[in-house]
């Protein structure tokens, strides 16, 4: 090739560098990268070639690289936005999901508009959750959340109604916990309400206090421990407010908290989030009474939140609803 073009290509390749630490998606080993320590070099010509691959995992990785490249230098790949729009309509779901992730790396209004078709397409409940999780990234949220300039809230509502997710500890341990800015704390409070934590806990005067007070919880637990306690409420049972199991002579088993007693009857509160759910039993009918091994706090509450919202909830709890500067441990991820 003529020398002058050769140099142009080199300059091309040299500008498109993504360092691993800043990448939001797990790095993948592949042909299109020359590794020097933590630095990856991405070649735009190979990205374009991979985007046309018949293999959907190759197209998926190429899209993530496209996003990284664009984030470093938007003019490096001409037509990047059109390529993104085409990939958003890819028949393979994983590829259209990667288009949303790439748009998040690009973080521009144009990139967000380019993936709007993904929000409109029909999806299974698990797919809907993945799209919501990807679109609810700090870089894309400003484009759809406040005042909905792109008129996508109906599509997002539909996805929300359909979405079914199952967070695992491993997924949630990997999330990045943001700095406690007022915006993050107010989103965290919204998450506290969305996940119904406010039905049993009170933070900064907000919510009901039928469960333990969470004040100062950031002093007791690291971010990961906090997430673990929310994900697995029965991990470490408190004596205060603990449920008991009552085995009755008619074979019924009632689990709950003995709310008030007189000589002959017990009022058992069976759901701390609902004061109406009380069962009254005769003391004489109790055959056995023992502490329950299961927490009154339900499992799976976090499944109504995106990973970004879980991170904001953690910040909200750690800062006592914004009243405290959280301890230094909050910088751990």
Binding site for ligand HEC (CB under 6 A): 195-197, 199-201, 211-212, 214, 217, 226, 229-230, 233, 236-238, 241-242, 272-273, 295-298, 301-302, 313
Residue 37: left (phi > 0), alpha (psi -120 to 50), or beta?
A: left
Report in angstroms how near the CB of residue 241 gets to ligand HEC at its nearest. 5
In the bound state with ligand HEC, the residue whose beta carbon lies nearer, of 72 and 229, is 229
CB of 277 vs ligand HEC, minimal distance in Å: 10
For residues 115 and 302, which CB has a smaller minimum distance to ligand HEC in the complex?
302
Q: Which residue is nearest to ligand HEC (CB)?
A: 197
Measured distance CA(289)–CA(258) in Å, rounded: 11
Q: How far is the CB of 33 from ligand HEC (least distance, A)?
A: 39
55 vs 213, which CB is nearer to ligand HEC? 213
Question: Which is nearer to ligand HEC, 132 or 230 (by Cβ)?
Answer: 230
Helices and strands (H, E) in the chain, number of each type = 15, 8
For the bound state, the minimum distance from the C-beta of residue 242 to ligand HEC, rounded and expressed in Å, comes to 6
Helix 44-51 to helix 56-72 angle (10° resolution) is 140
CB of 190 to ligand HEC, least distance (A): 12
Burial 129-163 (b: 16+ CB within 10 A, else e): bbbbbbbbbbbbbebbeeeeeeebeebbeebeebb
| Between 113 and 199, CB nearer to ligand HEC | 199
Q: Which is nearer to ligand HEC, 217 or 315 (CB)?
A: 217
Q: How far apart are CA 74 and CA 157, in angstroms?
A: 31
- What are the φ/ψ torsions at residue 36 (nearest 5 degrees)? -125, 100
**Token digits of residue 230:** 């929310």
Which phi and psi angles does 123 have, rounded to 5°?
-140, 155
Give all strands (DSSP E) within the chain, no chain letters. Answer: 17-19, 34-36, 39-41, 244-248, 253-261, 265-269, 278-282, 286-291
CB 197 within 8 A of CB 217: no
From the CB of 131, what's the least distance to ligand HEC, in Å? 22
* Residue corresponding to tokens 């300039």: 149
Q: How far is the CB of 207 from ligand HEC (least distance, A)?
A: 9
- Given a contact cutoff of 8 angstroms between Cβ atoms, the answer to whether 23 and 68 are in contact is yes
Please identify, using beta-carbon distances, which residue of 66 and 272 lies nearer to ligand HEC.
Answer: 272
């Amino acid at each position: 090739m003529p020398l002058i073009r050769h140099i142009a290509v080199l300059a091309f390749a040299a500008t498109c560098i993504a360092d691993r630490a800043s990448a939001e998606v797990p790095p993948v080993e592949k042909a299109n990268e020359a590794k020097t320590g933590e630095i990856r070099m991405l070649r735009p010509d190979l990205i374009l070639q991979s985007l046309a691959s018949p293999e959907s995992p190759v197209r998926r990785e190429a899209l993530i690289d496209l996003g990284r490249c664009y984030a470093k230098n938007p003019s490096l790949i001409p037509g990047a936005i059109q390529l993104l729009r085409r990939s958003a309509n890819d028949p393979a779901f994983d590829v259209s999901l990667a288009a949303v992730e790439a748009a998040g790396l690009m973080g521009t209004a144009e990139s967000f508009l380019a993936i709007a078709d993904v929000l409109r397409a029909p999806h299974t409940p698990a797919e809907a959750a993945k799209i919501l999780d990807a679109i609810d990234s700090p870089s894309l949220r400003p484009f759809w959340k406040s005042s909905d300039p792109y008129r996508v809230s109906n599509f997002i509502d539909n996805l929300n109604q359909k979405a079914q997710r199952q967070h695992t500890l491993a997924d949630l341990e990997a999330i990045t916990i943001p700095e406690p800015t007022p915006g993050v704390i107010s989103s965290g409070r919204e998450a506290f309400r969305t996940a119904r934590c406010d039905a049993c806990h009170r933070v900064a005067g907000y919510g009901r206090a039928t469960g333990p007070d969470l004040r100062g919880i950031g002093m007791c637990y690291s971010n990961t421990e906090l997430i673990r306690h929310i994900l697995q409420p029965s991990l470490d049972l408190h004596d205060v407010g603990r449920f008991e199991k009552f085995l009755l002579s008619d074979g019924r088993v009632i689990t709950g908290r003995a709310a008030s007693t007189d000589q002959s009857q017990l009022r058992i509160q069976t759901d701390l989030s609902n004061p109406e759910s009380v069962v009254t039993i005769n003391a004489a009918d109790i055959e056995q009474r023992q502490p329950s091994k299961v927490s009154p706090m339900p499992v799976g509450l976090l499944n109504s939140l995106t990973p970004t919202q879980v991170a904001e909830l953690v910040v909200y709890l750690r800062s006592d609803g914004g009243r405290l500067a959280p301890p230094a441990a909050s910088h751990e991820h």
